[in-house]
Amino acid sequence: MTETEPAPEPVYRKVANALRKQIASGTYRDGARLPTEAELAAQYGASRQTIRRAFHDLVAEGIVHRVPGRGTFAAEQRGGRYLRHLGSIEDLMNLSSDTSMDIVTPLRRQANIEAASRLRLETDLVYSVAFRRLHHDVPFVYTTVYLPERIARHVLEAPELAAGASSTYTLIGLLEPHLDAPIARADQSITVAPATSAVATALGCAPGHGMLRVDRLYSDKQDQLCELAMSYFLPEQYTYRITLER
């Protein structure tokens, strides 16, 4: 494996992603019992501790619940609301496991003083792309991403970022294979903001509707800033959860 290749996905994440997709698709409906740790360990050729870690992540997300002596069960769906547990860069990349990305405004070059300043660029020129993400065909977030030219040039011809494109990719997932160093950090701020006209049109809400705004500034292992993402989440369709550990 070279320095630019991402590390292989841990087995527990593969198991968690597979179970997440099966629950979302209805294979395990509300209250259905999932396979046991022993069954999944045999299926994936993994240890029971690995399977237990996968279940731990799904419990933290509220997707399953465990009953001692009885097993692990799919939780009741919350009226279609998308819930995501976030605690790492990998969790952000795994949005591709159960959501899709629809391009609203394709990648283009523009002058944006605020974005350039936050990316610490010596020029006001950045590249931006706007998209919405959907879960079960329901849009829940509108995001505008700003990239320095040195980063954007790697994906200028990417079909996933063309006008009207729809895919299961995340932008950081598209970018990272081309970077000199992997993305290692995301500085995040959360506030409440009204929906702009662009946000309202993309998500089907009224202009001025109260939104959860999340800004993330990504940097790589060399501490170089590589992306600014500004997202507006529709609170009726999204629950944000993060685990703090000591």
Q: What one-character-per-residue DSSP string does 200-232 give?
A: HHHHT--TT-EEEEEEEEEEETT--EEEEEEEE
| Predicted confidence (pLDDT) per residue in 212-245, tens digit | 999 999 998 888 999 999 999 999 888 776 666 6
Task: Give the number of other CB atoms < 10 A from CB of residue 202.
Answer: 22
| Side chain identity, residue 71 | G
Q: Are 202 and 195 in contact (CB under 8 A)?
A: no
The residue among 127 and 82 whose pLDDT is bigger is 127
For 82-242, the fitting CATH number among 3.30.420.40, 3.40.1410.10, 3.40.50.620, 3.30.365.10 is: 3.40.1410.10
Whole-model pTM: value is 0.67
Q: Which residues pair with 238 in a beta bridge?
A: 82
| Predicted confidence (pLDDT) per residue in 64-113, tens digit | 888 777 888 887 665 555 555 555 556 665 565 678 999 999 999 999 99
Q: Are 82 and 141 in contact (CB under 8 A)?
A: no
Q: Is CATH 3.40.250.10 the right assignment for the domain spanning 11-74? A: no
Output the 3-class SS for 92-138: HHHHHHCCEEEEEEEEEEEECHHHHHHCCCCCCEEEEEEEEEEECCE
**Structural domain spans, the chain:** 11-74, 82-242
